[in-house]
Structure 1
Amino acid sequence: MWKKIILSAAFTFVGLYALFQVGYYATSTPPFCGSCHEVNKYLISWQTSAHKDVNCLDCHQPRGELGKVQAKARGLNYVFQHFSGDYTIPTQAIVSDQNCLQCHLGDDKSFPNAAKLKNTPRVDHYQTIKKAQSCLDCHRATGHDVDIYLTRDLKGVKQL
């Protein structure tokens, strides 16, 4: 009896995990992300950036399997906001310094040509990392332009 329950639970878990992975990869491409008008201008800007060969979630998702779950939960919230019209632009996109460092310290073998961090007379990246200073403090618009919909008069953001 217990063997059947454990075996059923294991098969259910594996099946749900496989289904999640299929859904994850189907909804993790830049064209999919850019299909909402709130993100489309960011996608266009990304296509001319130095990071144009980097998938959106390589930057905008915490590492690991739970990071995938967190990113997709956030994505479902964005979908709800899109269809309900209950959104404010700019949204708060998440970029973890861990993602930047993984590529730019050479730990991510998927991007062997990524520029490696180095210290210069002007910038000591060692101290920046040691102080836990965010990469975005200096490199906020590296992946794509930011605050695209924000105007000086703070009007018209929802008139997309």
Structure 2
Amino acid sequence: MNRWVKGVLIAVGGLFGAFLILAFALQVPAVGQTIGSPAACSTCHVMEDQVLSLERGTHRSLACVQCHTPSGFFAKPIEEIKSASRHAAVFLTNSTPDVIKPTHESREIIQAQCAECHAGWLRANSAADHQPDGLMCFECHRDVAHGRPLRN
């Protein structure tokens, strides 16, 4: 095997090892919730309104990542890396939108997390009857997670 191929294999192995360490670390509640806590997310000034409104909401005891990242050993760190990359790109290019909206993929993750946490309630109250026109939970319950939007 030539040196180039060996070098590539070592690099790929190193990246995979680092990914596994990150994946494991994010599964430890103290690490995952600290990295995705409201305090950590509020370090970016564009997230201040979301963090302040979360403090007023029903879910104020949750870390941001509990709603905004999927469950699962591999799915969680993969989404964390994708999300961090998106945030870094927006920050570095100074292209922060005036109104922050979740991507389609983020909306799907948030919906899945709502359904996972509230599965008992949904079963008891017939989830099929409770989703009119295929709306997502947060489309009707917008003020639940983040509380009332901040207004001047």
TM-score above 0.5: yes
CA drift of 1:37 comes to: 0.6
Q: Considering fraction of residues, name the structure with more helix.
A: 2
Q: Structure 1 stretches (4+) deviating beyond 6 angstroms?
A: 8-11
- Match of 2:91? 82
The equivalent residue for 1:126 is 128
- Superposition deviation, residue 35 in structure 1: 0.7
Structure 2 matches for 1:1-160, cutoff 5 A?
12=14, 13-19=16-22, 21-22=24-25, 25=32, 27-64=35-72, 65-93=74-102, 94-95=106-107, 96-106=110-120, 116-117=121-122, 118-119=124-125, 125-129=127-131, 132-145=134-147
CA distance in 2, matches of 1:41, 1:146: 10
Inter-partner Cα distance in structure 2 for 1:15 and 1:80: 22
**5+ long unaligned stretches in structure 2:** none
* Cα distance per residue 1:11-40 (max 9 Å; x no partner): 743444114554773532221111101101
The one-character-per-residue Cα deviations of 1:32-73 (angstroms, maximum 9, x if unpaired) are: 111101101211111121101111111112332224312331
- Is residue 36–residue 64 contact of structure 2 (8 Å, CA) maintained in 1? yes
Question: Counterpart of 1:35 in 2: which secondary structure?
Answer: coil
Distance of 2:85 and 2:12 partners within structure 1:
26
Q: Percent identity?
A: 20
TM-score, with length taken from structure 2: 0.66
Task: Return the TM-score normalized by structure 1.
Answer: 0.63
**In 2: Cα distance, 1:145 partner to 1:90 partner:** 17
Could you say what the CA RMSD is over the residues aligned between the two structures, in angstroms? Answer: 3.4
CA–CA distance in 1 between the matches of 2:147 and 2:91?
Answer: 21
Once the two structures are superposed, residues 83-120 of structure 1 have per-residue CA deviations (whole angstroms, 9 ceiling, x without a partner) of 432110322223432110111114xxxxxxxxx3443x
Q: What amino acid is aligned across from residue 51 of structure 1 in structure 2?
A: H
Stretches of structure 1 that go unaligned for 5 or more consecutive residues are 107-115, 152-160
Q: Which deviates the most, 21-30 or 77-86?
A: 21-30
Higher relative contact order (CA 8 A, sep 6+): 2
